[in-house]
Structure formats: structure tokens, C-alpha cells
Homo-oligomer: A and B are copies of this chain.
Amino acid sequence: MKFTLVHKSARSGARAGLLETVHGAIETPVFMPVGTLGAVKALTPELTAEQGAQIILSNTYHLFLRPGADLIARAGGLHKFMHWDKPILTDSGGFQVFSLAKLCKITQDGVEFRSPFDGGVKHKFTPELVVDIQRQLGSDIMMPLDVCSPHTAAKEKVAEDLRLTLDWEKRALEHFAQNQVQAFFGIVQGGLHEDLRQESAEYLRGLDFAGYAIGGVSVGEPEADLYRVAQYTAALLPPDKPRYLMGVGLPQNLQQCVPFGIDMFDAVLPTRLARHNTFFAPDGLENILNAKSAADFAPLVETCDCYACRHFSRAYIRHLAQAKEILAIILMTIHNIRYLVNLTRDLRRKILNDEI
């Protein structure tokens, strides 16, 4: 993988970059739609690509449990299995183990958990196994296993989790063994504490990661803390490597964080909100079930160029949503993804013109 810093804005920390992978190049800043189980929810891969998605994220934890990394490897890897030939980033499963699995038990070696399926079969993720799983999936960008502290945890606990995470990341990188096909990112943890973020960033800068993620945000903390931690941490990261803010987010989050020098974002929000009848609009989130849309023959957003806005009215989509028609979800998913893609494209254009 090769990252080129195309332009740094003269007005802020905002950057325009180019990330080249074996599955194609990605212009940054970029928003990555999430395909948790090997499918961006409610869309065919063609529909996802048509919205301008350059890379998607998929979840190691979910794919490990169902259908299993062995099966995906036998299918020829995740790209072939899901019919997506652009880049894929896989997370490490750390966040999901700690938020979704049952009976997590952390040891120095890794984390034991019980599957929510299969009658609670016991599994264990180690830093090395998580690398092996992602190698089986064949993603373009891999992430190391980390411990995700709750944002409400005491500082001592966050510090303890961080040190274990740093040890795991070093082990994972050694196990990974650099190669020309897959790239490996580090994850900066440390919760809401600037000194811990600094300790984390300094340690990881000493290791040869292809990019750096900021984890442990967008986990329920106040928005002001998200911005503070993202800005503080981004400034600690090497300028010649891509920076990825995990699990973020909403249009305003992207607008706010790009000037901090963030290059990559992912979130389940555009797809999840669509399944809850909610779409992005210039003034914020709107729910299509609102009565005011009942006889409104305008599109979801007048200025939007997405397929849904070009061909369908609010009245139609509301009718479908009321009747729980799947097409309502499809159309709002298309709109929400396109909205974030257009937003990042617009931000990139402004960066290149030193407008932000």
C-alpha cells in the first residue's frame, strides 16, 4: 500500500491524499460504508459502488463467527465471496468482542468470549489469530486486536487496557510480517486522556505501521470529547501516513474532523439510519415518516444527485416506509451513503483550493 499526501491545506490541518492498494486507489478524505457481514446492508455491490464508495469496511468478529474465515478463504477470499473488487478494510474484532460477545475474559495472551450463536461456543482471540483471520479474509487493510475500554472507565483501567493493547499491537505487527498485498494499521487508544493518547501515539510511531487509527471514540462520549481527542491525537501522528478515525460518523463529525487532519472515516450510521426511516439532510437528520412528507413530491434533498433523489419523491418513499417495503430502506441507504461520499468529495475539493 502506498500513501501520497497530495496537498495539505494552508488554512488548517486538512489533507488531501491518495491511498493506493492492490484493489485500486482511494482519494482521501474518504468515508467507508460498513458491510459488517460481507454485505453493505440493503445494497448490491454495484449499488454501493455507484454511490461512489471507494472502500468498504467489514467486521472480523462477525465474519469469524458467521460464516467463518475458513469458509471465506475456501471461497477465494472476502472480495470474491461478496463480489466486491475495490479495497476492503477489516477491523480487528476487538470493539465487537467487548461490546457484543458474552463473558469476555481478558488475559495477557488475548481475550476469551462466548459466541452469541451456536449455543455459546467458547472462542479466544489473540493478536496473532486476529491477523491470521484477516489474512484468510484477504482484506487490503488489517487492524490489530485492541482492548476497548468503556469511555466511563477510571483512568487507571484505561491505562492498563492501553498498555495491554500496545503489547498486543507489537505482537500482531511481528506476526503480520510486512508484505506487498495487505497493509497493517496501528490503533491509538487512551480514552479521553491526553497523556495516555500521547503515550500510545509515541509508542506506535516507533513501530512500522502503514497507517494509524484513532480508536475508543464515538463510543458514547460527549461530542466535545470526540472532537478534542481526535484533534489532539491526529496532531501526534506521522504526517506521511493515513489517519483513520474509527466509527465516525455523522456529516457534521466529518466536517469537523477533516480540518484536524483525519483522512479516513467509517460508520454504520448511514445504513442503520436508513433502516430506521432516517436520512441525511442539510439541516440534520430527518425521518421520512413525518407527516409533512406525505404529499411532498420533492426529493429527499433538492440538491442531492443520488439515484433516490433523482427519481423518487418524499411522498413515494414515505408510502414505501409506511408499508415497510424493503425499497424504502434501499433508497434511503443509497441516499445516506451518497450524501457522505459527496460530502468528502466536496471537502477534498476545498482542501485542494485551501478553502478549509
Contact = CB atoms under 8 A, between A and B. Distances in A.
Interface in A84-124: none
Contacts of A42: 326-327, 330
Interface in A166-223: none
A316 interface: yes
B319 A66 contact: yes
Interface residues of A, number: 37
9 contacts: A37-B320, A39-B320, A41-B327, A42-B326, A44-B330, A45-B311, A66-B323, A74-B297, A75-B297
Contacts of A320: 37-39
A315 B73 CA distance: 12
Contacts of A329: 326
A325 B37 contact: yes
Contact of A327 (B44, B295, B319): B44
Interface in A297-327: 297, 307, 311-313, 315-316, 318-320, 322-323, 325-327
Contact of A313 (B39, B43, B75, B315): B75
Interface in A26-42: 37-39, 41-42
A71 interface: yes
A246 interface: no
Please state the number of chain copies in the assembly.
2
Nearest to A334: B44
Give the most central of A38, A47, A327, A331: most B CB within 10 Å. A327
Give the most central of A39, A42, A43, A66: most B CB within 10 Å. A39
Nearest to A84: B311
A227 interface: no
A64 interface: no
A282 interface: no
A140 to B, nearest CB: 19
Contacts of A315: 67, 71, 75, 81
Nearest to A82: B316
A2 interface: no
B319 A67 contact: yes
A327 to B, nearest CB: 5
A315 B294 CA distance: 41
Contacts of A326: 41-42, 326, 329-330
A83 interface: yes
Nearest to A37: B323
Given A37-B325, A67-B294, A326-B326, 8 more contacts: A38-B320, A39-B325, A45-B311, A66-B322, A67-B315, A75-B315, A75-B316, A82-B316
